[in-house]
Amino acid sequence: MAEQLNDREGSGLADKLMQYLPARFRPGAAVVPVVRLSGVIGAVTPLRPGMTLAGVARVLERAFSYRNAKAVALLINSPGGSPVQSRQIYLRIKQLAAEKKLPVLVFVEDVAASGGYMIACAGDEIICDPSSILGSIGVVGGSFGFQEAIKRLGVERRLYTAGAHKAMLDPFLPENPDDVAKLKAIQREIHQIFIALVKESRGARLRGTEDTLFTGEYWAGESAIALGLADGIGDLRSTLRARYGEKVLTPVIAQPTGLLSGLLGRKSPGAGQLSAVESMAGLPDELISAVETRAIWAKFGF
């Protein structure tokens, strides 16, 4: 009897001590590292960085290198942005998943639209909330025309170029139909790249015609599932517990922060570090960037 009590006490003490071990070293529990990918993609200004491959590469590599990982979970909340950065992040996720032989589970929060949906396509499964917004498989670009405004202000536009199309789509010049045609041709080319990526990723799960899926339209969760753009309704915690057990560990992999990170990441003058004067000079750009970012989110009701 005394031996049994000692065994129980020893086991209880071991369990308590085990709680203080890093997740990767705890025996018997499945580990699914979690990476959060959120924000506008590629819209980078000095004070308002967007999501880029350079910004997320290290976090992704840490997640896929996590000891005893059973899968990697991505929490995505992005209305899109740069098609280049979106595709590069998508490719890096696919490469790491293939190298480490780990499944990727994508969980959509508010939005995975446009470039955000492109990144989501890197997952083996896309799981969303009923109110999540998914899709917007298209390309958009826009500008303003200020030529009449500067006339009223008495401003004379002086522009010097070498190359017939160097001033293409200049907002202070009248719109040129040839320039618009050129822009639309580029957009169609990028759109086809996006469409091919979605088809390759989703494959036979896609339901619906191209005229439905690839028009830039977006849908809420259940409708996205019906079209094959997502696989199911759920949340990260419940889904991972159902698949990997109640004791599944979900460490969130984030960028290093704190004093040590600041010291290690400190840049020397001339290597991208902004002075106070330069930061103040960039405030108008920051304001414009903030308005543009707000407009992108507002498009999807957020």
Tell me which amino acid residue 115 is.
G
- The radius of gyration of the chain from alpha carbons, rounded to an integer in Å, stands at 24
Q: What is the largest CA-CA distance in the chain?
A: 99
Percent of all residues in the chain with a pLDDT value above 90, rounded to a whole number: 56
State the DSSP code for 216: S
DSSP code per residue over 94-154: HHHHHHHT--EEEEEEEEEETHHHHHHTTSSEEEE-TT-EEE--S--------HHHHHHTT
Please say if the pLDDT value at position 100 is more than 60.
yes
Mean of per-residue pLDDT scores for the chain: 81
DSSP SS3 for 35: strand
Predicted TM-score (pTM) of the model is 0.78
CATH superfamily entry for domain 22-136+217-298: 2-enoyl-CoA Hydratase; Chain A, domain 1 (3.90.226.10)
58-67, 227-236, 248-257, 292-301: least confident range: 292-301
Cα 234 to Cα 125, 132, 221, 222: the distances in Å are: 11, 11, 10, 11
DSSP code per residue over 50-81: -B-HHHHHHHHHHHHT-TTBS-EEEEEEE--B
10-14, 73-77, 93-97, 124-128: least confident range: 10-14
Closest CA to 125 of 152, 100, 106, 101: 106
The contacts of residue 294 (CB under 8 Å, 6+ apart) are none
Tens-digit pLDDT profile for residues 88-98: 999 999 999 99
Supply φ then ψ for residue 159, to 5 degrees.
-135, 130
Q: Answer with the residue of higher pLDDT: 48 or 276.
A: 48
Boundaries of every domain in the chain: 22-136+217-298, 140-202
